[in-house]
Structures are given as structure tokens and as C-alpha cells.
Amino acid sequence: MNRLAGKTCLVTGAAQGIGRSIAEAFSAEGARVIAIDLGWKEEEAVPDSMVRVSLDATNAAAVDVLAAEYPEVSVLVNCVGWVANGALLDCPLEDYDRCMNINVRSMVLTMRAFLPFMRQRRQGAIINIASVVSTVMAAPGRFAYATSKAAVIALTQSVALDYAADGIRCNCISPGTIDTPSLHSRFAAAADPEAVRRAFVERQPMKRLGSASEIASVALLLASDEAAFMTGSNVVVDGGMSL
């Protein structure tokens, strides 16, 4: 349908999971995609319209250089993230700091780098990946992660309000439990991976996990001109998990 034809889109965390699905969906809809990740494999094939970039989104200097190289980016998707385990008294402060650095500071850095160019053109769309484990709902043993994703929602709303008059839209998506390589890794670390997976599925009202492509479909809407009157929204996509 070429809903993003003529747009240059940048996606962080684009090598796998939700980020990869978003990058591929955008590419399929006519966008040129700058796909950022530290986990790219040399032999990995990507569409001709996708440019792979190995970059640490928490490195301010590197992000600024990236923005100077691609000032034409009109859609920014912040998808890089990390899950820290433990309740407040159990989670090491080092893990809390890492969670906030990856999940929140990386978004601040990319937005600070690309927003000035978007403001010059008076047009831009920013999509931040948050989570239902935030201000939407709590989950056991996710103190640092929930705190970081709550910050993402507040960050999104703040940017949306401050820059709406400049033609910038900023929205976030709060996924529930999504079937991704990251989730598989957490299953594999459990004593009984299959039992943990069954428990995750059982707590879903729809009795299944979400797919990365289902999140990508929402990101595609938010990136397109069809969502021209949407800003500051937190779109919950969790199969009813938070109800």
C-alpha cells in the first residue's frame, strides 16, 4: 500500500523481536529504514530499503553523529529495551541504572538528536515502545522495568505536548506479553521453561501470547498520515492482560 512511501524511518532495537518486525513492516510499506542495533549478524540479509547500523543508542556522541548523517528521518521508533528482574529490595542498583539507561535515556538521546531536524521541517512522528507493566499495571519482580516504562509514558506525553505546535507527533505503544526471542531467553533461564511458558499463556484472557507483527501493525498506523490527529497517546496492545 506504500503508506510510508517517501519517508525515512529510524528504528532502534531493530535486529530482532518487536523492533525487527517494525523495521520490516515499515520497509514493506515503502519507507527507507535506518535499522539500529548492536546485535546485527554480518550474514543476515535485509531488504534493499533497510540500512543496518551497529550503534549503541545510549552513547550520546554516537547518536548525535547518526542524526547528522540522517537528518531526513521523519519517523523515529525507540524500541531498544532491557528487562531487569527483582523487587525493590532484591534488584541490584546496577541493574536499575542499566534499565533506566537503556529503556529511558536512549529515548531521550535519540529524540534530542532528531527533534531539531523535525522541527525545521515542521513534521515528524515519534513512537516509543513502553509496556503495560508501567502505570498501566504492576507485575511481580519488575520494579526497575516498570519504573522505566512508566517514565517512557510520561516522557512521551511531555514531548507530545511541548512540540505539538511544531508539527511533531509523539505516541507510545504498551505491549503485553509478546512472543519474541527475548521472552524465549527468559523462558530458557527458568528451571522448567515449558511450565513458565504455560503460565504466561494462561494469564492471558485470549489464552495466547501476542506476536511482534501485531505490535508492528500499530506502529505502522502511528507512523502513517492516518494517525495525523494522534499525539500523546499510550496505545495498549495486550490481549486484555491489564483488564
Q: Where are the beta strands (DSSP E) in 1-135?
A: 8-12, 32-37, 50-54, 75-78, 124-129
Domain-located, residue 148: yes
Which residue segment(s) compose the domain that 173 sits in? 8-178+211-235
Tens of pLDDT, residue by residue over 187-220, are 888 889 899 899 889 989 999 999 999 999 999 9
Domain-located, residue 102: yes
Domain-located, residue 122: yes
Domain-located, residue 199: no
CA 130/CA 78 separation, integer angstroms: 9
Tens of pLDDT, residue by residue over 17-31, are 999 999 999 999 999
The answer to whether 22 and 224 are in contact (CB under 8 A) is no
| CATH number for the domain harbouring residue 32 | 3.40.50.720
Q: Which of 70, 96, 145, 163 is catalytic?
A: 145
Length of the chain equals 243
Domain-located, residue 195: no
For this structure, is 70 an active site residue? no
Number of structural domains found in the chain: 1
Domain-located, residue 229: yes
- C-alpha triplet 96, 178, 57: angle, nearest 5°: 45
pTM of the entire predicted model: 0.96
Q: Which residue has the cell 532528531?
A: 114
CA 27/CA 21 separation, integer angstroms: 10
